[in-house]
Structure 1
């Protein structure tokens, strides 16, 4: 009799040295078959190969978070891989624009990726988790989830909406054995984006002044493994040097 694989689905995976990839690696290390989703097939392929190189099991499922047809196709593929037990929505889509120069199109695009995308992902993932007896649903948030600040009006609105969505799902599905948690990432991440676009900022932050990918991933694993008598709904992560 063959064993049914337990699956972790991470949506919002880009560069190998990005948070989505780090989360996928951590859950693969924990014994899960990992499905990775994002908009770039080439980047997903590189992430899958990096996981397989460490004897992990991973599959690429390209999908645009804000496209319902893409998410429906992805969840169908996830179900075919095994039993979904962990679902992580990690889409960022940070944009900046002075409020009076912010177009309706950019505002909607930002909302569609983070808020609508989070809802579509959560809805389909939760359906599968419930069928499998429960599991974990995690959302990646940001400082903007908690406060609006120029020039990030669109991003703050989208991330605040995602945070409220996580609370709604937690209250509705927690009693049905689905652990829903929102993770506030408060600070720069020492990953591909900062290294490529703002290396001077990393240098200014100094040793351990930026969040380390593996340390963030370990916090997500901790949330997944928490006992039901003491579930966390929101966890904020920041370097010890970060003011708040």
Structure 2
């Protein structure tokens, strides 16, 4: 029997990496999972492997976020776990960035997260139960040169998580922000032979998320940082 205290999940911004690993881990734990992305075609193999329900959404559009929550309710039940893993990134010198591209990036990283937290909270509050996990990044703690839009979005995401945790935790809803402080391993970005485990294993990150979901309410974490053992602070 699974010791994950929730039975249904919606992961927004799904794809390979963290989302795929978490979907597999939740499915093995008996959780019904809906996975949402702008391009659902990229989810086909994950759907085949896990039985997750694919849903299409542009997370920067409030009406689409509302619709995807309603679809998830019909397909897997009202989500008791909501994970926001979408982010927008555009790089460039501040003097050269296209304002419309910056607006889009911040909308995906920050506004989309707000829309999802709002929809999740409306459904979780009546039962005083649920978990909302927001995937952060190093950029939400320190901004890097040529990456101001990503930092803007991730700083806003962290602020949202902190405010939502303080508001919703006393009402039975666990809100957590996970700072992914380092590169995530993938087929396109494997570890160098001479530096094993120098990137974050997405399966290990997924385990951290599951551990968060298992926390007793007397000892909830609102934020956790994960980094490779060789990463400098």
Q: Name the structure 1 match of 2:130.
A: 135
Q: Name the structure 1 match of 2:7.
A: 6
- Report if the CA contact (8 A) 2:38-2:58 is conserved: yes
Give me the TM-score of the superposition, normalised by structure 2: 0.93
CA displacement, residues 173-223 of structure 1 (integer Å, 9 cap, x when unaligned): 1000000000000001112xxx33x55xx3277211110011000000011
- Report if the CA contact (8 A) 1:44-1:62 is conserved: no
SS in 2 for 1:139: strand
Return the alpha-carbon distance in structure 1 between the equivalents of residues 117 and 23 of structure 2.
18
With over 3 angstroms needed to count, the CA separation of the structure-2 counterparts of 1:14 and 1:178, relative to structure 1, is same
Q: Name the structure 2 match of 1:47.
A: 46
Structure 1 gaps of 5+ residues are 53-57
Return the alpha-carbon distance in structure 1 between the equivalents of residues 29 and 82 of structure 2.
14
- Report if the CA contact (8 A) 1:6-1:83 is conserved: no
With over 3 angstroms needed to count, the CA separation of the structure-2 counterparts of 1:8 and 1:101, relative to structure 1, is same
Q: Name the structure 2 match of 1:105.
A: 100
SS in 2 for 1:10: strand
Return the alpha-carbon distance in structure 2 between the equivalents of residues 167 and 205 of structure 1.
38
Instruction: Kindly indicate whether residue 54 of structure 2 is the aligned counterpart of residue 65 of structure 1.
Output: no
- Report if the CA contact (8 A) 1:83-1:132 is conserved: no
SS in 1 for 2:56: coil
Return the alpha-carbon distance in structure 1 between the equivalents of residues 194 and 44 of structure 2.
32
Return the alpha-carbon distance in structure 2 between the equivalents of residues 132 and 37 of structure 1.
24
Return the alpha-carbon distance in structure 2 between the equivalents of residues 12 and 60 of structure 1.
11
SS in 2 for 1:60: strand
Q: Which structure features the higher share of helix residues?
A: 1
Deviation >2 Å, runs of 4+: 92-95
Structure 2 gaps of 5+ residues are 1-5
SS in 1 for 2:203: helix
Question: How large is the RMSD of aligned CA atoms in angstroms?
Answer: 1.5
Q: Name the structure 2 match of 1:55.
A: none
- Report if the CA contact (8 A) 1:99-1:150 is conserved: no
Return the alpha-carbon distance in structure 2 between the equivalents of residues 62 and 95 of structure 1.
23
Return the alpha-carbon distance in structure 1 between the equivalents of residues 193 and 182 of structure 2.
13
CA displacement, residues 129-177 of structure 1 (integer Å, 9 cap, x when unaligned): 2233311100000000011121110000010001000111101110000
Give me the TM-score of the superposition, normalised by structure 1: 0.89
Q: How many residues align?
A: 227
